[in-house]
Structure 1
Amino acid sequence: MKRYILLLIVSFVAISINAQRITRNFREVPMSKALKIIEASTSKYKINFIYNELEDFTVTTSIDKKDIPDAVRDVIGFYPIKMTVDGDNIFVECVQKENTKLIGEVVDKRGQPIIYANISLLSAKDSTFINGGVSNQAGKFVIPCGAKRVLVKMSCIGYKTILRAFDVRDIGKITMTEDMQVIKGVLVKGSRPATRLTTEGYTTQVNGTLLANVGDAQDVLKEIPRIHESNDEYTVFGKGTPLIYVNGKKVTDNSDLKRITSQEVKSVDVITSPGAQYDAEARSVIKIKTIRQQGNGLSGNLLASANFSRKNSINQLISLNWRHNGLDIFGTFNAISRGWWNDQVAISQKYFVKNRVDMTQATNMHSRRNILTGKWGFNYQLDDNNSLGVTYSVSKMLPSSKGFGRQNYTVYTNGTYTGAVKYYDDESASSDGPNHELNAYYSGIIGRLHLDFNGTLYWKKSVTIQNATEQSDEFDNRTINADAPSHNKMAAAKIVATYPIGNKVSLNAGTEYTNTNSRSVYVNQQNFITSSDDNIKERNIAAFAGVDIQCGNYKFNGGLRYEHVKSDYYSYNVFQDDASRKYDNLFPSLSIAYSNKGWNTSLHFTEKTERPDYDQLSGFIRYDDRYTYEGGNPLLRPMKIYNIEWNLQYSWLTLSADYTYDKDQIMYTSSIYNNSDIILANYTNIDHRQNLNFSATASPVFGLWHPVIEMDFFKQFLDTRQYGIDLTLQRPQWDLSINNRFVFKHNWIVECNYEYSTSYDNRFDRRSKYSEFDLGITKLLLNTRLMTRLEVTDLFNTNKDDDFNHYSSCFNFQKYVTPNYRGIRLTVSYRFNSARSKYKGTGAGNEEKKRL
């Protein structure tokens, strides 16, 4: 079977060698040179043109998997140039034979190009129309004209129209200002529809829309349909935690998104049904693309952010980039002091063989994590279509970090008071790092073949040191000293080849290899818990192939991924056959999309997996209190996830529905430990779980008011009674969020956001209802280079998202957490000589890094 699959994938690649599709990036390239490059990439067509006719026209565009005629059309764009296809010959001709031309560039006040601006040339005598054109992706235009002097009218939605007299020549850059008009007290500002469906999910245009002025990339993501944010962590509704990429580079720390201003973001793609080239565990992907910046020299970003709440946090960042021609050298230094506070009451019922134990626990936990991170690297642009680069990053938690926990609990056995305990835990001696990551990539085009290679080395180490005491008048006093060091290493490589075939078909194929070594040790000096020394050595070899087909208004996408996973489990360096695993799996994906007259719809099917994290697989058991331990389960199996998703979009309204069947669902549950009066809370597999999700998003514009209204519905189908739970736990969730943005003159933006969720059941938990009301104000200064932002989160202190009831056959508990989302955050950032790094690496083994 494996040989057949590998042979099939190799055949896919071999077939694609004779394809006739092209992927190229052109930046300020003369039209004649662009046409010759396209001609060199095909053995079928000959492109004919006259050099002198095209010498003033430059090309800035990205061609992605287009056939040769469509690639030539993209290069021509809106220029007054005609293309004719006659058999194997393509003729390109300037249709306006004037000797002189009006040449220029349209930009906004930040110097960014304005695309699709309309330029009309009018007679200087009587204002009659002479000729016209449209600016390209670089904001440039070339319009043939025989007159010596003309009136130039420039217009674009969202900008003030310009009418000015020029001599017919190269007039350089023309700056257009944003158009804001007050009509009966209401501010009106132009905008374009921003979101559209794709064959994998949907994409949102940011550049040229109001989203370009919301702050930073994190603020942009908050405005994207179906993306939910909490404490700088993101989820895609119904799809879990996504992988996030910026220009193809995997984001390993979401705070990196603060380094990117919203003015730099070109678009955001949300992939809700990742295809075969993505890891089988990836259920959603967010891809952020930024605008290409021009110029050489030093550029950078300085950022400082302070969050004031029960435990304050500070974030300071310096990011620098030096560019010379095709070389970028960049570095980032980040200092974080993150405070955390938690105050809660837990009421639990434990059902042992002979006894029932009821406990009420009042707990306060707080910590301070001081972390330094650094990232350095280079990128070298060999030419317009080939680049390579390397990045190295390191992070370390400083010794000044602290972590404490205090708990008072009372115990009743079979309804009779048994005693009270005061528990104190000091984990300040714990450490994390230094953690290292090295990435290298190559992205380029060889002939007609597009190759992407990524390699990653990853080292991570940490140690948790627990020094705890229990004091009681009724029970014996205890001291618990435990050390739990862990060391993880990973090496990974991935290569993807994309090649067009025929006129409307494109193939891709590739392979990915990951080698991981994860070791965790637990030593309890008092032997309350058995010590452990576990080592997991895992190898994952994957091969995949996919096809994209465009047929009129329809687009088809299909793929197949094969993964061979071998996981060897060792305890004290002795191989454990019962806990070791070997898997050979196929993961298909299929999608179809249709678009016509503003309507877009798509249907997707994917099969995915979710493998246990290494801490879930560890034999490590942690002491919580004298009645409760928690730990991992080396016998866990991966989940199989089958998903069907349907999307519909028209104008500013988007509807989504998906159904998921989770086979061998991994659940957090409890059991009796060694037939004693102790509960062991850990993970196990259940037979299956089913989920149904609906989502509706509306993002209209009413003058200065720009709302994003989203209603989400979630319901699980799970017969919990067969697992010893009295309740059915099938209560659905309704979640309503209304994000309001008000855009005023002089770069003032005011936000007023509200979210409400009903109580609902998820897995073996019943989550509490909650609501949150947030306020924010942003001011852009110094031509948008300086941004100040003030936010108030959970103004009324009503977010009780952390409250829930947990159920199992032998252990139930109700947790009530004092709300801790209310705070004030002030962010100031300053950018100079803005230049985006051209690094195009995506990293390899990204899902494996998440498991580590």
Structure 2
Amino acid sequence: MKKTYFKFHTVSLFLFLIAYPAFAQKAEGYLQDSSNKPVAFANVVLFGLPDSSFINGAISNEHGHFMITYAGNHTEGYLHISCMGFETIILKAKADMGRICLKSAVSSIQEVIVKGSRPVIRNINGKLLVNVSSSFLSKAGNVFDALRRSPGITVDDNNKITVFGRGVPIIFLNGRELKNPAELATLQSSDIVSFEIDRNPSAEYAAAGNAVIKITTKKAPSDAVNFQLYNEAQFAKRYRNSTGGNLNGRFGSTDFAVNYSYTANRYKNLEEAYENNFQDSYTITNRNSAVRYPSFTAHNIYGAINQAFYKKHVIGAQVTLKREDSKEKSQAAQTIARTDRATVFRDVNKSGNGKADVSTYSLNYLFKMDSARSLSLIGDYSKVSDISAEKITELNHTNSTLLNTLLDNRDKSEVYSAVADFETPVFRRITMKAGGKYAEVKRQSQRISTNIDNLENNYTDNNAINDQISAAYLKADFRVGAFTMNTGLRYERTETKVRSLQTTLVDSTYGEWFPSVSFSSRFRSSRVSSFTFGYTRKIDRPAFRELSTNVIYFDANSYAVGNPRIRPTLINNFSADLSLFRGLSLNFGHRIENSPRVLTAVPDDRNPTIIKYTFVNLDKAQYSFVNIDYSLSRKWYEGTLSTGIERPSIKVPFLGEVRKVQKLNYILKVENNFSLSDKVSVFCSYVYYSRKDDLMTHYYGRYNLSVGGNASILKDKLKISLLANDILNKSDTRWEDKYANIISGSIPDHDNTWVRLIVRYHFRNFKKTNVKRIAGEEELDRM
């Protein structure tokens, strides 16, 4: 009954907003310089008459285009257009502003001509806008290189993207949500206009997202077909290579894209791991020295077509196919010392292979009723299959015993999802947006362990998870003069069932409200341009591996297993953003996590000498942090300085007492880029991570010093990049856990020091325009 009541009112609210009468007005035009080249990143602000009240604002894109929409009865107004390096102008507002020419602002000092340069970063209404197309980031390489060198963002060697103080973000590309950052692999930094980093996203976005990154790319010309080939060769302890091609075009109202990439990666990773198990009458110390040789090959195929008709409707379809084959071998020397027994010496050798297939089929529809009202619908189906087998040989030198084990793992999942969004202006200064989402995941997992020597079954586990999420939101934006308020409310209902060997372990249903509110004010002061304060409530649901009861066997002394009774983490985010003089911005934040989750080592319930890695909830964790971002641009030099300072407040049980985690930690990023000519540039990048305590884990300090260069020839069609990463080999993440009565840790030496040569050739100056839009984003990420 409650479910029906919720759906009825959601549909009623949605239909009411569609039917609500509203009329949108606009002011639209193009900005260009005296050479008829487009002017990007210009501020265009609309003020009403006769009181000069602020109505709305916009920023011109890479084509110099801007469009300001507003609702109400404004009959007269004027545009205030400004951009660093150009003279500010004021024009009477009208619907079609046409092409507007901006004059260069040139100053002469001791006969040296100095022209204004555009900043790499700007803070606009609490969102950090990173200028890529007009900065050194356009020559960074691929999109991950550009993100890695952007302020406030970290990208590891597995291309995992995080936002400092907020974690893994939701990523949008040209307004469309991506399923996985790996889909960005074929996108080059020269194709990108800007990154927008939202550290406190509103209720419009999924409650699982604590940050949002929006990537805007350049658009291809009409009636053209473009093609690009590229190859990335990486030289490290073992050779790696990636090759791909993109075909893309637009004819009239139809655009299409076909992308293919092939990657072959091999690694050599070393690791020293340890575990100290403190029992009442004895202590067990386990030392493990391992060398691993993982490798994989991956094929990615993506196809998309979009058809516009009657000028207001667009329908599209996308298909994505991915196939990955992996292999790994490892040799480990293990020493187990127990205070009341003789020391045991063991060798543990592993060899395995796996195959993963992902296929996604998606349909989307967009109805642009006018410049301010739109309706968007998305539906998709995804299927994921992951099969692996591993042989483990354990030789005990102390008692001369040999154990051979075969592990067979099979996972199959299906995801059904649908999303609807509607936006419309209402009343005079209010814009509203409403939408809903439904997603269902069906997952089947099987784990079989067999003793190869006697063919006996060690254990078999069949696990089934069914997860459903229903969501609806309502968001309103209010603008009065230079003041803007954004409010939103989102409701998400989750139903989760977990079964193991026909036994129901979890059957839970819960619903949560997620409000959001922000206040922004713009100033005409030369020192302070804007201030924003915001609050959001979010949720971090357990990934399916955290809920699964399937056992992952490491060796005879340790294993990993999920916790079906793990609770989701509810998060309260507070933030304040201050944009000071050009190029400098400050972000202050405080995050409160209730029931934070973490993977840690605990004694096995039946045999405390065996270590079990599983997920547990702590009571609460709080984080206070500050982000400082600054950019400097000159004719021959561009640089950014970004630092984040964080102070946690956490209580962790350890050896019968409570350990308080409260030490400050910080991250420092410095980017320096020097232009030797219009075609050649060199750069130096430095990132430092201080010692850090997060929940029960202590991370040791590390840093990464990288250098490189870029060159363009053949009228910018052929681009060559050379990058030397982590030249001092100091970027490995060393960690140590302290929880309950166990200390565990790792001292890695991964394959992070490498030299990469990238060669790209653009036929007809290829620009990527199509991206995949996925409604089941969060569900696929949780798998």
TM-score by length of 1: 0.80
Whole-Å Cα distance in 2 between the matches of residues 415 and 528 of structure 1? 32
Whole-Å Cα distance in 1 between the matches of residues 75 and 699 of structure 2? 53
Whole-Å Cα distance in 1 between the matches of residues 705 and 697 of structure 2? 25
Contact 1:20–1:503 at 8 Å: present in 2 too? no
| Structure 2 residue 665 is the aligned partner of structure 1 residue 733 | yes
Contact 2:680–2:709 at 8 Å: present in 1 too? yes
Structure-2 residue corresponding to 1:454 = 378
Q: Please show how residues 475-490 of structure 1 align to structure 2 within 5 Å.
A: 475=399, 476-490=401-415
Structure-1 residue corresponding to 2:537 = 607
Task: Give a deviation string over 1:18-62, Cα, whole Å, max 9, x none.
Answer: 44353889899xxxxxxxxxxxxxxxxxxxxxxxxxxxxxx9845
Structure-1 residue corresponding to 2:35 = none
Shift of 1:643: 0.8
Which residue of the other structure, out of 699, 707, 712, is the alignment partner of 2:644? 712
**Distance change (3 Å), C-alpha of 1:297 and 1:68:** farther
Structure-2 residue corresponding to 1:442 = 365
**More displaced 10-residue stretch of structure 1: 833-842 or 282-291:** 833-842
Contact 1:789–1:827 at 8 Å: present in 2 too? yes
**Distance change (3 Å), C-alpha of 1:137 and 1:293:** farther
Which residue of the other structure, out of 345, 351, 371, is the alignment partner of 2:272? 345
Structure-1 residue corresponding to 2:774 = 843
Shift of 1:641: 0.7
Whole-Å Cα distance in 1 between the matches of residues 577 and 624 of structure 2? 14
Which residue of the other structure, out of 529, 536, 541, is the alignment partner of 2:470? 541
Which residue of the other structure, out of 742, 747, 751, is the alignment partner of 1:811? 742
Contact 1:115–1:139 at 8 Å: present in 2 too? no
SS in 1 for 2:394: strand
Which structure has the larger Rg over C-alpha atoms?
1
Structure-2 residue corresponding to 1:522 = 447
Structure-2 residue corresponding to 1:217 = 143
Tell me which amino acid in the other structure corresponds to 1:426.
S
Which residue of the other structure, out of 179, 197, 203, is the alignment partner of 1:270? 197
**Distance change (3 Å), C-alpha of 1:142 and 1:155:** closer
Whole-Å Cα distance in 2 between the matches of residues 189 and 395 of structure 1? 48
| Structure 2 residue 708 is the aligned partner of structure 1 residue 776 | yes
Structure-2 residue corresponding to 1:616 = 546
Tell me which amino acid in the other structure corresponds to 2:565.
L
Whole-Å Cα distance in 1 between the matches of residues 131 and 70 of structure 2? 21
Structure-1 residue corresponding to 2:728 = 796
Contact 1:17–1:499 at 8 Å: present in 2 too? no
Contact 2:178–2:777 at 8 Å: present in 1 too? no
**Distance change (3 Å), C-alpha of 1:227 and 1:779:** same
Contact 2:217–2:769 at 8 Å: present in 1 too? no
Q: How many residues align?
A: 735
Structure-2 residue corresponding to 1:67 = 71
Task: Give a deviation string over 1:355-395, Cα, whole Å, max 9, x none.
Answer: 42112211111111011111112111225543221110111
Contact 1:567–1:582 at 8 Å: present in 2 too? yes
Contact 1:389–1:841 at 8 Å: present in 2 too? no
Whole-Å Cα distance in 2 between the matches of residues 342 and 237 of structure 1? 27
**Distance change (3 Å), C-alpha of 1:839 and 1:305:** closer
> Which structure's relative contact order is higher, taking Cα pairs within 8 Å and 6+ residues apart?
2
**Distance change (3 Å), C-alpha of 1:453 and 1:661:** same
Contact 2:186–2:261 at 8 Å: present in 1 too? no
Whole-Å Cα distance in 1 between the matches of residues 70 and 88 of structure 2? 28
Shift of 1:836: 4.6
Task: Give a deviation string over 1:295-349, Cα, whole Å, max 9, x none.
Answer: 3131022111011111221111100013211111210110001223220112321
In structure 1, the gaps of 5 or more residues are 29-58, 79-113, 121-131, 144-153, 162-180
**Distance change (3 Å), C-alpha of 1:838 and 1:753:** closer
| Structure 2 residue 387 is the aligned partner of structure 1 residue 463 | yes
**More displaced 10-residue stretch of structure 1: 526-535 or 536-545:** 526-535
Tell me which amino acid in the other structure corresponds to 2:238.
K
SS in 2 for 1:471: strand
Structure-1 residue corresponding to 2:611 = 679
**Distance change (3 Å), C-alpha of 1:372 and 1:183:** farther
Which residue of the other structure, out of 369, 375, 389, is the alignment partner of 2:302? 375
Structure-2 residue corresponding to 1:473 = 397
Whole-Å Cα distance in 1 between the matches of residues 620 and 545 of structure 2? 22
Q: Please show how residues 506-517 of structure 1 align to structure 2 within 5 Å.
A: 506-517=431-442
| Structure 2 residue 565 is the aligned partner of structure 1 residue 635 | yes
Structure-1 residue corresponding to 2:600 = 669
Contact 2:187–2:768 at 8 Å: present in 1 too? no
Structure-2 residue corresponding to 1:563 = 492
Contact 1:494–1:512 at 8 Å: present in 2 too? yes
Shift of 1:758: 1.9
Task: Give a deviation string over 1:734-753, Cα, whole Å, max 9, x none.
Answer: 22221111122132121111
Tell me which amino acid in the other structure corresponds to 1:631.
V
Whole-Å Cα distance in 2 between the matches of residues 626 and 350 of structure 1? 15
Tell me which amino acid in the other structure corresponds to 1:805.
E
Tell me which amino acid in the other structure corresponds to 1:457.
Y
Which residue of the other structure, out of 673, 686, 690, is the alignment partner of 2:622? 690
SS in 2 for 1:468: strand
Which residue of the other structure, out of 448, 460, 485, is the alignment partner of 1:531? 460
Shift of 1:488: 0.8
Structure-1 residue corresponding to 2:258 = 331
Shift of 1:520: 1.1
Shift of 1:72: 9.3
SS in 1 for 2:342: strand
Structure-2 residue corresponding to 1:195 = 121
**Distance change (3 Å), C-alpha of 1:142 and 1:227:** closer
Tell me which amino acid in the other structure corresponds to 2:483.
Y
Whole-Å Cα distance in 1 between the matches of residues 74 and 300 of structure 2? 46
Shift of 1:775: 0.1
Whole-Å Cα distance in 2 between the matches of residues 206 and 69 of structure 1? 38
**Distance change (3 Å), C-alpha of 1:344 and 1:731:** same
Whole-Å Cα distance in 1 between the matches of residues 513 and 218 of structure 2? 37
Tell me which amino acid in the other structure corresponds to 2:606.
N
**Distance change (3 Å), C-alpha of 1:271 and 1:265:** same
Whole-Å Cα distance in 2 between the matches of residues 345 and 703 of structure 1? 48
**More displaced 10-residue stretch of structure 1: 747-756 or 639-648:** 747-756
Whole-Å Cα distance in 1 between the matches of residues 431 and 99 of structure 2? 32
Tell me which amino acid in the other structure corresponds to 1:502.
F
Whole-Å Cα distance in 2 between the matches of residues 6 and 191 of structure 1? 54
Task: Give a deviation string over 1:433-486, Cα, whole Å, max 9, x none.
Answer: 2x1011211122236631111112111110121211111232432111111100
Whole-Å Cα distance in 1 between the matches of residues 419 and 460 of structure 2? 38
**More displaced 10-residue stretch of structure 1: 311-320 or 284-293:** 284-293
TM-score by length of 2: 0.87
Structure-2 residue corresponding to 1:785 = 717
Task: Give a deviation string over 1:676-703, Cα, whole Å, max 9, x none.
Answer: 1211111011211111211111112355
Shift of 1:68: 6.4
**More displaced 10-residue stretch of structure 1: 408-417 or 831-840:** 831-840
SS in 2 for 1:525: strand
RMSD over aligned Cα atoms: 3.4
Task: Give a deviation string over 1:676-734, Cα, whole Å, max 9, x none.
Answer: 12111110112111112111111123552222111211222111146746743333212
SS in 2 for 1:728: strand
Structure-1 residue corresponding to 2:348 = 423
**Distance change (3 Å), C-alpha of 1:771 and 1:118:** closer
Shift of 1:819: 4.9
Contact 2:28–2:95 at 8 Å: present in 1 too? no
Shift of 1:208: 4.1
Structure-1 residue corresponding to 2:54 = none
